[in-house]
Amino acid sequence: MAQIKRVFQVDGQPFFPVGGQARNSSGYNQAEAETAFQALRLIHGNTLEIPVYWEQVEPEEGRFDWSAVDTLLALARGYDVRLVLLWFGAWKNGDMDYAPAWVKTNPARFRRVLAPTGRPVWNLSSHCRATFEADRAAFCALCQRLREVDRNGRVIALQIENEPGILGCDRDYGPEAQAQFEAPVPAELVAKIKAAGAGRVWELWQAAGAKAAGNWAELFGWAGGEAMTAWSIATYIDGLAEAGKGILDIPMYVNVWLGEGSWALAGETYPSGGAVAKMLDIYKWCAPHIDLIAPDIYIGDSKGYEAMCAAYARPDNPLFVPESAPGNSNAWNLFKAAADHDAIGYAFFAIEHVIAPDGSVRSEAQMIVDSLRCLAAAAPLLLRYQGTGRVHAVAQEENLAGQRLDLGRYWGLVEFSQPGGPRVHRDWRHLPSPTPEATRGRGLVIQAGEHEFYLVGGHYRLTLRPKLPPEPSRDPVESRDYFITRLAHYVTVDEGHLDEAGRFVIDRERNGDEVDYGVWVEPDCGVVRAVMCE
């Protein structure tokens, strides 16, 4: 059994945030923010991620305006949901767009990254002490405001910066940064690398000769600039977290623009110095006050998606996905994150896109909305059973007709809705479609006990068969008879939901035709519980 570090808490109890992230400009005013809250209600989510902008809250140095933050807190109370506030400070997606005008227009004081040619890059240098102190002061002011006005704990976490790093250069070539690049790599970091004995940073060090000491180029070769930038930014952000937690002790995390896409070139195809997979160890070693390093996963193919989940799901870094693609591919991938990688929370980007002009769900967003709705319904079960090996993802890959699951004393056969497939009795609410269904099957199967199973999701059915003892399995005829007589004997099959205490509440009972051919599930069924009879 794996121990799951539950970073998020509400009223002292573990909490599984499910929801979405608002668009970049939605936090500026109440009208746009409220659209995001309305969208969260449509997906039955419990948490909204929304930005707080340095330029808005500190329009003049030392003068703060908290009206937008107070509005977000009031909306969260009104909609009875939680918030993750995203601090758009010195970095947002590899540049400095959200810094205040008084920072942007004073490059002599708030120095920018310089390219090798001396050209300034639209990015604040992490080596500039004045920038760090101004960013820290504003972030601490935010923490102080939340401590004063958020007494019922609507804010469950703070994201520090957003996809930090440098776009346009592999590192800062300004005088301070150049001196750092040529100086010896900090001895504490070298000691961590040696002690690790494995990992991407250790491999880079090995490839450069595994020297006991030296500057960044000597210890990391071609990756020296990116490694130094990762160390510098991680140290900068950790300084903000340490100061902020001294005021408001809640989880704080860093999100990541992944580095595996396109040409995978630091500073060109992703921000150099971010906590990409090959630099993740540096962040974990150099930012002890950061609770999570969280990947923004916009990868559609299942292999690439799962590789990123595996890279960030570590004993020292539970997987939290703060941003993901709002498209259909994510509608089944998210269940793999929850089941196979023990994700402790999940959100997708641009939550406002799910709302049609009449306030309903846009048809093109229905799959992702249904999937988030199912994940939210299963959240109490995930808090209880993640890490036990009893949570199984159901995901219909291309051309996949079914999945077989090992469920302790039972084999489970998942079959997906498809043209020409076996007839499945459902109920009057879910009549067979006259046209082939295009929606893929996906969801979760959770084994709560030896004979007790919970299902969420859609467009699949689960048939359970007891594992055969050795004697009848040797006789094909007896095995066949055993299979026929022992298949799908239920004590009960019920639709329901989990209450605030995590107890299953029955909303609708099934029997007869509705349990023939297995236990079926659709997003509007809530949680389906099947109790088997020996």
Give the SS3 label for residue 346: strand
The pair phi, psi for residue 408, each rounded to 5°, is 70, -110
**145-184: burial string, b at 16+ Cβ within 10 Å, e else:** bbeeebeeebbbbbbbbbbbbbbbbbbbbbeebeebbeee
For the chain, domains (ranges, CATH) are 9-383 (3.20.20.80), 393-532 (2.60.220.20)
Residue 250's H or E segment, with its range, is none
Strands 82-92 and 155-162: parallel
Sequence-distant (≥ 6) Cβ neighbours of residue 483 within 8 angstroms:
465, 468
Question: Contact 20/348 with Cβ under 8 angstroms?
Answer: yes
CA proximity to 316, closest of 34, 2, 5: 5
Residue 42 has a CB neighbour count (10 Å cut-off) of 20
DSSP secondary structure letters along 167-217: SSSSS--SHHHHHHHHSBPPHHHHHHHHHH-SSHHHHHHHHTT--SS-BHH
Torsion of CA 114, 119, 122, 127, to 10 degrees: 10
What gap in Å lies between CA 202 and CA 223, rounded to an integer?
12
Entry pTM: 0.95
Give the SS3 label for residue 385: helix
| Tokens found for residue 167 | 């776009």
Give the SS3 label for residue 447: strand
Residue 152's H or E segment, with its range, is none
Which amino acid makes up residue 335?
F
3-state secondary structure 263-312: CCCECCCECECCCCHHHHHHHHHHCCCCCEEEEEECCCCHHHHHHHHHHH
| Tokens found for residue 182 | 């040529």
pLDDT tens, per residue, the chain with 534 residues: 788 999 999 999 999 999 999 999 999 999 999 999 999 999 999 999 999 999 999 999 999 999 999 999 999 999 999 999 999 999 999 999 999 999 999 999 999 999 999 999 999 999 999 999 999 999 999 999 999 999 899 999 999 999 999 999 999 999 999 999 999 999 999 999 999 999 999 999 999 999 999 999 999 999 999 999 999 999 999 999 999 999 999 999 999 999 988 899 999 999 999 999 999 999 999 999 999 999 999 998 999 999 999 999 999 999 999 999 988 878 999 999 999 999 999 999 999 999 999 999 999 999 999 999 999 999 999 999 999 999 999 999 888 888 999 999 999 999 987 655 545 567 768 766 544 445 789 999 999 999 999 999 999 999 999 887 655 555 555 444 444 444 658 999 999 999 989 999 999 999 988 888 889 999 999 999 999 987
The pair phi, psi for residue 111, each rounded to 5°, is -65, 145
